[in-house]
Structure 1
Amino acid sequence: MKLAVVGGGSTYTPELIDGFARLRDTLPIGELVLVDPAADRLDLVGGLARRIFAKRGHPGRITTTSDVDAGVADADAVLLQLRVGGQAARNQDETWPLECGCVGQETTGAGGLAKALRTVPVVLDIAERVRRANPDAWIIDFTNPVGIVTRALLQAGHRAVGLCNVAIGFQRRFAKLLDVAPAEVYLEHVGLNHLTWERGVRLGGPDGADMLPGLLAGHGDALAADLRLPREVLDRLGVVPSYYLRYFYAHDEVVRELRTKPSRAAEVAEMEKQLLAMYGDPALDEKPELLSRRGGAFYSEAAVDLAASLLRGGGSPVQVVNTYNNGTLPFLADDAVIEVQARVDTSGAVPLAVPALDPLYAGLIANVTAYEDLALEAALHGGRDRVFKALLSHPLIGQFEYAEALTDQLIAHNREHLAWV
């Protein structure tokens, strides 16, 4: 089995390699190719990756290349984890929206739109190369904004499934609190990528006892602290929102905070310098502890599970993924991409039925889906007016004056990445 990782020079990659090494019985890999245009980073990450495999006794071969076509040739699956423009572009996404009093974040709001505009054309070009190399290959997208990118891939006819680590992070957290194995925890996880709620935490499967009320009663303070939301929010809603909901439920507070501290991109850039220095140490043969602060916790385990199911039917039969709605949420179009529990096998992902949603959640999901429709149109076809309409439709912007100013800022900061400018 051959897998390729596009964006393989990312400092995330050793997390992925660690999972491949530990879980090799679930996903036996004969060849793993790390693909990245940054040859210097690729050498460091590739070297550490080989040492991790060697320490774990993994027989697979790891190669590196900056040539996408060579990297994806004959691959059975391709994982996408790229960042167009790097941390420098992310830093811009997280700063210029603040000038209008809007949240600066890399996956939602104006910054998220900027990332989508830079990313979608690049991902679609890579996907076409994958299709030419092997039309049966699966594409697993971890590249943000996952919902928009996955929808672009699916609409272009690619065999693609989107993946995020939010759900598996909650599953692991709840399992620890309940003192059970993670596989025993079934989440009633629903929404869009980075816009989800846990409406139930059931033991043993979808028909098991719901432990969420007890978790909120016994651990509500700690859960709220992790999410940086008031305990009252969790108690009154009776759900656990993903931490991205803080941008919606406490928008102005977040903006005030972001204006008084360095951007997350600046923090990550400094962390990446330290990580790359560590990766260059020939004595290092495991992922360093510092990597846990980089983000992406449990990404490797989710990726292994998904790839194993898609390629050989050997992963968990039900997983939280991003895929077409196809009537699951009746208030959305079939070709909207949602993030829910789905049955996954070699034929792809099919969402499981979702109980009717309260308008509190359905309304926000519908609004953000409308924004994603317009965002994808802007990413595919360009044009100032399309960018403006996407910004105006976003619930975190929504004012003509802000949308006008943010449109100009977005274009000014991303000219080198927008072919239509």
Structure 2
Amino acid sequence: MSFNTLGLSEPLLKAVKEQGYTEPTPIQKQAIPVIINKKDVLAAAQTGTGKTAGFTLPLLQRLDQTRPQMKKQQIRALVLTPTRELAAQVAESVKLYGKHMPYRSTMIFGGVGINPQLATIRKGVDIVIATPGRLLDIAGQKGIDFSALEVLILDEADRMLDMGFIHDIKKLMKMMPQKKQTLLFSATFSPEIKKLASGLLNKPETIEVARQNKTADQISQVVHYVDKHRKRELLSQLIKTKNWEQVLVFTRTKHGANKLTKQLEETGITAAAIHGNKSQGARTKALANFKEGKTRVLVATDIAARGIDIDQLPHVVNFELPNVPEDYVHRIGRTGRAGQSGEAVSLVCVDEHKLLFDIEKLIKNEINKVHIAAFTPDPNIKAEPIQNGRGGGRGGNAKRQSQGGNSNGSRNNSRNRNRNRNRSAGDR
């Protein structure tokens, strides 16, 4: 099947061809015709499968079907995302695929001045890509008019729920017309997502192109057991001896990301950190330098896990395993994208054995364990509770109640208590 069979207009087909794409991915094959036909959609797709183009292309086609007369500050389409990085990724997709069409778009997010964003909307835009908190601030100042909204898209909806945006989303929904097309895209169909969808979508078409929480087959996964205090040493050795030139490394906390970045720099490895405390300018620069090969290692917290889109990123390293197993899937999904192969390496200390067990249970697969003799763990070191939670917000989760983790019930309670803390001011 080619893009020509999906009902896309000539300007869109031209833009797709210019990007070098010839055949749509499974999510694009299923979602594009449905969205063009103005149906609501509830879609789950494995990360790296072309989901962004899966809703961007039909959105542009959908808007091309009518040309209404717009009033000041009115918009036709809104895409909500959890983070600035993901907003930038969607905005880039809109720009690339809509390059031969007359639509105007803009990004709205925190961490930068609000006045230029208000001024841009006043000048007139068709499509807004926004994080919920900042958009709510602008709506509160009557800086945007949703009355002509035709399409609402919630991208990475599960992440938005996890970051505590549900109340902002509900407030925004009350400002929007009931008659509109709503698309909800998520990496998983969790019970929370299904509940959200039931209140937002009207007889949606359900699309699921991969088994829930399944990791991509083209990603090679490996675990190295190592003592916690020797992780940095092992990481440096892997990067140097294997000549890794582009490595995305995940830590749990912002402090941990900054510390590891400094340590890598001291060993002669160029590195930069990206997390919620960084300014928008610093985050944009760090990501750009990494993509261009100027920086060898990008150290990130989970706040950035879903906004980093690099077509041929070869290596992802879990310097610390995430407390929430689903985040492992999202982290390693930064590699092995668009059919490319990738490698995901996890450095696991004794504190994290329970977290590793939870991850393997989730993905229904035992990850390959590779022993490195020079880094054999000390059997006399005892596991300690993991104090810190996700690196996306202020502080961490409640203390873990068992070795390296806790039960699913207590873990979920910790997540619920800390959702609002996991939202940095910049991602509002």
TM-score by length of structure 1 reads: 0.31
The structure with more helix, counted as a fraction of residues: 1
